[in-house]
Chains A and B, each alone.
Chain A
Amino acid sequence: MSKRAIYLVPLSVFLVMAVYFAIGLTKDPKIIPSALIDKLIPEFSLPPIDNGTPQGYGKGFSSADFKAGGISVVNVFASWCLPCRAEHPFITKLSKMNVAKVYGLNFKDTPKNALKWLQELGDPYDAIGADPRGRVGIDWGVYGIPETFVVDGTGKIYFKYVGPLNGDILENQILPVIEKLKR
């Protein structure tokens, strides 16, 4: 490579990045990727969190659980995720309302940290599945956690929210979707 060409490298790298930024701007990360609306959830089976006992912690869950009828909410969380803490009280609130089954997908976490987190903040989930390497999360199209999915009684993804839930989003987005599905 000639000397002149080396001086062109930084510019080229930046221009490639700029193209990505431009594409990134056209996508609103909070909007559900159209590819997932009304699609069936991926086939998967998640084990419970390994706590040293044979049965583990949190029951685990699989795609079969969603096809038995009844509305489900899947919340993707991890102990290392800062906003997950912020939304935890609202997941708890949702769970206490008993309007839907609330599943926790523990994403790229170590069992030790996840258990500590649940012990500290409380466990609002009906079942928890551990996804330590993120394989199942990728099938679900997990972009940046926390993410929350609403799945109808036939196993179709009906709604997705990216980012931490708060009172407003719970009241005005998640609950209305659940109400609608109930009818």
Chain B
Amino acid sequence: MIPEIGHFALILALLVAFVQATMPMVGAHRGNQAWMAIARPAALTQFGLVAVAFGCLTQAYVTSDFSVLNVFQNSHTAKPLLYKISGVWGNHEGSLLLWVMILSLFGSAVALFGTNLPPGLRARVLGVQAMIALGFYLFMLLTSNPFERLSPVPLNGSDLNPLLQDPGLAFHPPMLYLGYVGFSMAFSFAIAALIEGRVDAAWARWVRPWALAAWCFLTAGITLGSWWAYYELGWGGWWFWDPVENASFMPWLAGTALLHSSTVVEKRDTLKGWTILLAIVTFSLSLLGTFLVRSGVLTSVHTFATDPARGIFILGLLIVVIGGSLALFAWRGPALVSTGVFQPISREGALLFNNLVMTTAAAAVLLGTLYPLLLDAIGGGKVSVGAPFFNAVFIPLMVPMIVAMAVGPLLSWKRADMKPALSRLWAAGGVMIVAMIAVWAVETDGPFMGIVGIGLAAWLFMGILSELAGRIRLLQGSLSESLSRLRRTPRAAWGMTLAHLGLAITIAGMTGAGAWKVESIQAMKPGDRVSVAGYDFVFDGARSGTGPNYSILSGTFRVLRDGQLVTMLYPEKRVYNVSQQPTTEAAIHTTFLGDLYAVVGDEDETGAFVTRLYFNPLVGWMWAGVLIMVFGGVLSLSDRRHRVGAPKKRGAGLAQAASA
């Protein structure tokens, strides 16, 4: 009964979305207030209905109702409650339901809190949101119904993929989706603006918080996935250029560009067409990210379902949404007039450079992900693209961007002089050289890129600090004046500073983990001792046990440094009862300079265990840096000017405030 309620709620949501997609749009076109006003209650009703459907599916999972096909395929009675719940979105149908629920949640947020939006814009934004939702409801109801029944009812389910039974991965998809769907708001605003033919500072100010929130979620989501890969897959890597990872990375790159170009629209009233295009592209890549891995267009280990009917529907949806919005852009875009002009050497120029690099990087990732497919389609040769391609393309793109990143915030708007900006960076240059020499001295045999990476991180970190010091006139006036300037720095400016500092720390972490990883693979018997990067790992044996739905092999390591105990490590190997699939649970001890990382494998005939021991330098920096980036985003989001909404005429105080 309850699954039928969910199914029915989904159908009702489809009907409500249809009303929301049509009447407010027509109303806004004709200036009919009553029709426009329908958007608000419709958005709220739609969210209520999807929430009911989601609740019904969750109920089926929690109570292990195996008469529902979806539950049978992805759950099991012995599974811990957390993974029964995360199983709801750990599959194709359920993840679509989560996606559309977040979409309608954001729609109702606009309906509730968008009271300062002009009524026409609000009606159109909600209308566009409902159109997207409409596509998803149709897709679910026609090809991917999560409430499909199964008869006869099986006694137990076939369990969720054991790799997905992990706290990190339980929250990875919701985070990613909050990011993807967040960009749908920027997209809806862009489409509404194209229809209205008006893009101004006020518009940019409404779009920015959505893009920023989406960016924060996406950053966190990607990192959760990467972190999971690091500790769960058990060989110390954290990024694999897998199509699924690329699918989430492309919207991140485009979204980062959008974030920066919307600043230019807000402050300088230029780059309008470009920003609109970025909003469309970012959401298009989000859609592609949602669908690419499920359509069977690309094969990947992550692919949930390959069903030709779904593939055709997805392609149709992509053509309508992306093709339609780009056609609208081609038609209405030229009417957007930019008033601000600027020289190449200026803040705008620097932000545009960032945009070009980010979009080129996104295009390169797209090309690398789709290339095998494209070439196959024209019947050309067959190729395979892997990490070598991405590293070869990515590193040369990122190096100049990071160099420029320290300079950009020092340039003034409109027209700037390179000389004074560079003269403020001598300290950063000095620290960079010292850091590079120090790295070279310590790791003489390490790869050259390691020296470059640390140098860049030091340059960026110091460059950002120089900018902050200049902003508060440190050492140029009295200390109390500097402190009061520090206090008055708007949160948006703090956000930028922190996000960029976080990136510098992340780059250092990635460099360390990539360049100086130490690993040792061997068979060990209890009592054996192996030395890795100056640490002695003593193996104290392994024993068997059972978990809730798996059997377990748990190893014990003592890690010593100069005879002193540093930590104990307890890596596990689990074999899940239903699927008999093994997973590794690495044991990790994080120190300031790197992670001690141990994995235990099978026992061989002689009673020795295969063990893999790693020292992964600076990995903690990577995660910490990302946390700082996200915190910077959240801080900027809490800035007063987002709550104020529509900008007033810029006063004298605001004009000089540095921007994020």
Contacts and interface: CB of A to CB of B under 8 A. Distances in A.
Interface stretch (B381-389, B469-477, B569-577, B624-632): B381-389
Interface in A1-56: 3-4, 7-8, 10-11, 14-15, 17-18, 20-25, 27-30
B377 A27 contact: yes
A4 B372 contact: no
B334 A144 contact: no
Contacts of A28: 296, 306
B573 to A, nearest CB: 13
Given A11-B330, A85-B235, A86-B301, A142 B384 contact: yes
16 contacts: A7-B329, A7-B334, A11-B323, A11-B330, A14-B284, A14-B323, A18-B319, A21-B315, A21-B373, A25-B297, A27-B376, A29-B299, A78-B386, A82-B242, A119-B521, A163-B301
Interface of A: 3-4, 7-8, 10-11, 14-15, 17-18, 20-25, 27-30, 78, 80-83, 85-86, 107-108, 119-120, 134, 137-138, 141-145, 162-164
B465 interface: no
Contact of A138 (B326, B333, B382): B382
A14 B322 contact: yes
A11 B327 contact: yes
Contacts of A83: 301
A107 B377 contact: no
Contact of A82 (B301, B326, B373, B378): B301
Contacts of A107: 384
A21 B318 contact: yes
Contact of B376 (A3, A15, A24, A108): A24
B308 interface: yes
A15 B324 CA distance: 11
B74 interface: no
Given A10-B326, A138-B383, A25 B612 contact: no
Contacts of B315: 18, 21-22, 25
B119 interface: no
A20 B375 CA distance: 9
Contacts of A142: 382-384
Interface in B327-351: 327, 329-330, 333-334
A11 B277 CA distance: 11
A138 B381 contact: yes
A80 B377 contact: no
Greatest chain A CB density within 10 A among B281, B377, B387 is at: B377
B301 A15 contact: no
Nearest to B363: A13
Contacts of A15: 323
B295 interface: yes
B334 A4 contact: yes
B479 interface: no
Given A3-B334, A18-B319, A24-B373, A11 B308 contact: no
A25 B311 contact: yes
B273 interface: yes
Contacts of A134: 383-384
B386 A24 contact: no
Contacts of B388: 80, 108
B460 to A, nearest CB: 28
B373 A145 contact: no
B448 interface: no
A119 B326 CA distance: 51
B374 A20 contact: yes
Nearest to B300: A83
Contact of B330 (A10, A29, A81, A119): A10
B372 A25 contact: no
B318 to A, nearest CB: 7
Contact of A21 (B297, B372, B521): B297
Contacts of A27: 376-377
A19 to B, nearest CB: 8
B521 A10 contact: no
A162 B299 CA distance: 9
Contacts of B327: 11
Contacts of B521: 119-120
B368 to A, nearest CB: 12
Given A7-B273, A27-B377, A164 B301 contact: yes
B384 A137 contact: yes
B304 interface: no
B240 interface: yes
Nearest to A2: B334
B312 interface: yes
A83 B303 CA distance: 12
Nearest to B580: A167
Given A10-B281, A10-B329, A107-B384, 18 more contacts: A3-B334, A4-B330, A7-B330, A7-B334, A11-B323, A14-B284, A14-B326, A20-B370, A20-B377, A21-B297, A24-B297, A24-B373, A25-B315, A29-B376, A82-B240, A108-B388, A120-B521, A144-B384
A34 B122 CA distance: 54
Given A163-B299, A164-B301, A25 B386 contact: no
A163 B302 CA distance: 11
* Nearest 7 Cβ contacts at the A-B interface: A23-B377, A11-B326, A7-B333, A80-B387, A8-B330, A120-B521, A7-B330
A80 B242 CA distance: 10
B277 A10 contact: yes
B384 A145 contact: yes
A25 B373 CA distance: 10
A24 B312 CA distance: 11
Contacts of B373: 20-21, 24
A163 B312 CA distance: 22
Contacts of B372: 143-144
A14 B323 CA distance: 7
A173 to B, nearest CB: 16
A80 B281 CA distance: 30
Contacts of A14: 284, 322-323, 326
